[in-house]
Amino acid sequence: MKKIILIFTLSLAVAAIAIISSSCTAQREIAAQKSGAELWAQNCIRCHNIPSPPSYTDVQWETIGLHMRERANMTSGQIKKIVAFLQTAN
Amino acid sequence: MRRIFITVIGLFLLGNSIVAQDSKPGKTQFMVRGYGHAGLDYYKTPDGKDISFVGAAFSPIFLFKQGNRFMFETELEFELQKNELEIGLEYANLMYVINKYLMVRAGKFLLPFGTFMERLHPAWINRLSTKPLGFGHDGISPASDIGIEFRGAAPIGGTHINYSVYVTNGPRLKDGSEEPDEAGMLNFQNYIDNNNNKFVGARIGYLPLYNSSLELGLSFYTGKVGDQGSVYEDVRAFLWAADFSFVKQISPIKGILDIKAQYNQTNVSDAYYPVVEEARDSANLFTFNNLSRAYYAQLSYRPSMAGKTFLKNLEIIGRYSKLKTPEGSNWGSDVSELTFGLNYWISWRQVIKINYAFINSEGGPDAEEGPQTQKSNSLFVHWAIGL
């Protein structure tokens, strides 16, 4: 029980840090303006190497987009921009 | 057996023909993906040397997407184990996007308990040929289970948070009746619920930097593990993990720095197990503090900004990993492993890995009497491909 409390306290601490850092509007704007290419370069490298756009067709990138949104727990906004970029760069 | 192979090959051909005709895509999208590897393993232990070709393994992944919100995903694993073909169902789950922030998965899925098993274990993703200690066979943390999960992610200003909450059948306590040496261990490959109590788990991940290079995660997984109606009915397990990931191309060092780490702890509440030599109905019972710990930290560097293509594709890796299982149990051990690797990336999804591992172990279920440290070394040369 103690451990559950500890974990929840830690989770709350994480959430608190998140909220504090979100109050920085400059960062928020930078994040919102990121292009698909930028998001691809920063995110699709976190677990495996960065996949090259010509590896798949437009339709395949859509399937992979949904798969990675789930597997990598990425936001729908990020995935939409990344898939659009991959579909133009392939 | 042959029929299964023919079916799999048939599905491959079907997948390819669908791909070939995708000039006018319908709402149904089907993809066959997966991975495979081949290699040579060399082990040097106090008992002798062993060198062997390995790899007769093939893991196809099938993705079925219907519309923009629904997907079914499954991974099979075909592997030759001692001349027998073994087939495993790594995962098979349905997935539905509820809204921007939430999706639901049901079926057999990889558990987001830490990140290694869910995100990093496939042969073309894992920088080294082996899993860190504590994962996989006789491991202390789970890989997958059957249940239902809600997961999602959300931006919080320039940062991101991701979350997952799930309920599963949960692991089962080995009470020593089948394998006395393993009394008190958890069996994570237990897909039939042995009690009506469900396991509950969650992970929260936070990416505090706006370039998403850093992720910190915290997970837990808990429930009852004993068989219903047995004396172990009320035995509970509490597992937690902390994970760390930092990946970034850094100009001054002309390359990509990748740091990954995970700490796992498994705690099973006190229970009395029969002493090995005695008959099961004997009054001789023993107990121990059933706490296991494992962790790994891995650092890799790839000179991705070097001038020469050959250099760009090279990667060096170092990983330290440790596993400690309960003292006083029949499977108590203290193992540490230091592995170095040199990889050559043929493409983003194909790699040749050369790894050398130094292992120090004390105890364990197969150990000889008396505490003595065993030193062993191994060399792996593997070629892995993401399909």
| Residue A32: burial class (beta carbons within 10 Å; 0-12, 13-18, 19+) | exposed
Nearest to B102 by CA among B161, B16, B15: B161
Which residues of A are less than 8 Å from B118 in CB distance?
71
Is the pLDDT assigned to residue B9 strictly greater than 80?
no
Which residues of A are less than 8 Å from B162 in CB distance?
73-74
Please list the residues that pair with B294 across neighbouring strands.
B264, B323
The two three-digit tokens of residue B31, written as one number: 């993809």
- CA of B309 vs chain A CAs: smallest distance (Å): 16
CATH number of the domain enclosing B49: 2.40.160.10
pLDDT score for B95: 97
What number is the ipTM of this complex?
A: 0.87
CB contact residues (below 8 A), chain B span 267-326, against chain A: 267
Q: Does B72 touch chain A (CB under 8 A)?
A: no
Q: pLDDT by residue (tens digit) across A50-79? A: 999 999 999 999 999 999 999 999 999 999
Separation of alpha carbons B18 and B251, rounded Å: 42
pLDDT score for B350: 95
Nearest to B349 by CA among A85, A70, A88, A55: A55
Contact A66, B103 (CB under 8 A): no
Picking from B157-166, B181-190, B252-261, B313-322, which range would have the lowest pLDDT averaged per residue?
Answer: B181-190
- CA of B278 vs chain A CAs: smallest distance (Å): 35
Domain residues for the domain of B79 are: 2-386
More confident residue, B283 or B192: B192
Is B181 strand, coil or helix? helix
Contact B158, A31 (CB under 8 A): yes
Token pair 């004396």: residue: B231
Q: Does B349 touch chain A (CB under 8 A)?
A: yes
Q: pLDDT by residue (tens digit) across B49-93? A: 999 998 778 899 999 999 999 999 999 999 888 888 999 999 999
pLDDT score for B176: 85
Determine, for residues A57 and B158 on separate chains, whether the beta-carbon distance falls below 8 Å.
no
Q: pLDDT by residue (tens digit) across B279-318? A: 555 568 889 999 999 999 999 999 999 989 999 999 999 9
Structural domain total, chain B: 1
Mutate to test the interface with B, among A29, A40, A50, A66 (most CBs of B within 10 A): A66
Find all residues with CB under 8 Å of B72, minimum gap 6, and list them. B62, B63, B64, B92, B93, B94, B95
pTM: 0.88
Nearest CB to B348 within list A51, A66, A75: A51
pLDDT score for B195: 83
What would the mean pLDDT of B167-183 be, rounded to a whole number?
89
Q: If you ran DSSP here, which 8-state letter would residue B370 be given?
A: S
Nearest CB to A30 within list B118, B151, B210: B210
Determine, for residues A4 and B211 on separate chains, whether the beta-carbon distance falls below 8 Å.
no
Q: Which amino acid is at B158?
A: G
Pairing verdict, β B102-110 and B48-66: unpaired
Determine, for residues A77 and B100 on separate chains, whether the beta-carbon distance falls below 8 Å.
yes
Say what the alpha-carbon torsion angle B18, B19, B21, B27 is, to the nearest 10 degrees. Answer: 70
Determine, for residues B247 and A46 on separate chains, whether the beta-carbon distance falls below 8 Å.
yes
Separation of alpha carbons B42 and A18, rounded Å: 47
